[in-house]
Amino acid sequence: MRRPDGGELEVLSEDSADQPLVFHWGTPGAAVWFEPLATAAAHAGLRFVTYSRPGYAGSTPRPGRSVADAAADVAAILDALGADTFVTLGWSGGGPHAVACAALLPDRCAAAASLAGVAPYGGEGLDWLAGMGPENIEEFSAAVEGESALNAAVLKMAGELKTVQGADVAAALGGLVSDVDKRALTGEFADILAESFRRSVSTGVAGWRDDDLAFTRSWGFDLGSIRRPVAVWQGGQDRMVPFAHGQWLAAHIPSARVHLYPDEGHLSLGVASLDRIVADLARLGSEARV
């Protein structure tokens, strides 16, 4: 479909009249069919919809995009699908984009959920890099340094992801996965994640680069203004997005519904609790009654 700026946006959607659950993939991540999430959505009376952010796979890059720009893209998706209201879930790097929808589309977004999502860079009192694995420290240090340094960093990392398979994902992620996350990286979930990784770098690294730059700049909206319910799910064994990010979001989003689990990781929390996360999101959306 066409984005508001004229670029192309790659979208996957069930053929259903149910309210959409718009899912934002992590970083890097491109749209692939996420059957466990589609099934959880159907059980909750929702319609699974996902898309590739600009620069990933079939979506045209948009250099300089902000986190806030995701809201306009989602609004265009809803218009194309003929849907008025929706709920939204973002995992990892998708978390801020889901939160942007709650902030900037209050007349359409009934509720949002951030699953292991990052907090704003430079947030008061937050040591943003503390607790991250060495790969993320290298990546985001390059992002802060600037586009040229970041390009070099993600190009190097993308080489391994171009051909990664489910059985190889844990090794490819290296120091970013804790023991509890390694145990979650098996079977269907590992295969889906590997497919999303492969597609995310299939047409270059623009999406990955622009995600990282957007995270470390102003997000383009005020978290303190959010009134739609935002569920914040975070695990204490997370080496990609440390526990402190979830705690910070929970303290700075006035409408936050807090789900902090010290024994879960970045991936294990979603794998173990996907049905519960979606059911909770559907309930929040129903209670909000946009």
3-class DSSP state of 123: coil
The dihedral built from the CA positions of residue 31, 36, 38 and 41, taken in this order, carries a sign that is: negative
Q: Where are the domains positioned within the chain? A: 11-288
pLDDT confidence of residue 288 = 81
Of 1.20.120.350, 3.40.50.720, 3.40.50.1820, 3.10.150.10, the CATH number of 11-288 is 3.40.50.1820
Distance CA 194, CA 277 (A): 22
Going by the DSSP 8-state scheme, the letter that residue 101 receives in this structure is H
Query: Which tokens in the block code for residue 111?
Result: 């509720």
Query: Which tokens in the block code for residue 166?
Result: 């489910």
pLDDT in tens, 262-272: 999 999 999 99
Task: Look up tokens 């526990």; give the residue.
Answer: 243
pLDDT confidence of residue 290 = 54
Cβ contacts of 105 within 8 Å, gap of 6 or more: 71, 74, 75
Q: Mean pLDDT across the stretch 273-285?
A: 97
Task: Look up tokens 């069919």; give the residue.
Answer: 33
Cβ contacts of 96 within 8 Å, gap of 6 or more: 67, 90, 114, 117, 118, 120, 214, 215, 219
Q: Mean pLDDT across the stretch 90-119?
A: 98
Q: In percent, how much of the chain has pLDDT > 70? A: 99
pLDDT in tens, 34-92: 999 999 999 999 999 999 999 999 999 999 999 999 999 999 999 999 999 999 999 99
CA contacts within 13 A on the Cβ side of 232: 26
Nearest-10 crossing angle of helices 95-104, 69-81: 80
Task: Look up tokens 């990933």; give the residue.
Answer: 56
pLDDT in tens, 216-255: 999 999 999 999 999 999 999 999 999 999 999 999 999 9
pLDDT confidence of residue 129 = 97
Q: Mean pLDDT across the stretch 93-109?
A: 98
Cβ contacts of 156 within 8 Å, gap of 6 or more: none
pLDDT confidence of residue 14 = 94
Cβ contacts of 134 within 8 Å, gap of 6 or more: 174, 175
Q: What is the rounded average pLDDT for all residues in the chain?
A: 96
Which residues on neighbouring strands pair with residue 87, listed in sequence order?
21, 111
Q: Taking 80 as the threshold, does the pLDDT of residue 122 lie above it?
A: yes
pLDDT confidence of residue 17 = 87
Task: Look up tokens 């989602």; give the residue.
Answer: 74
Distance CA 121, CA 261 (A): 22
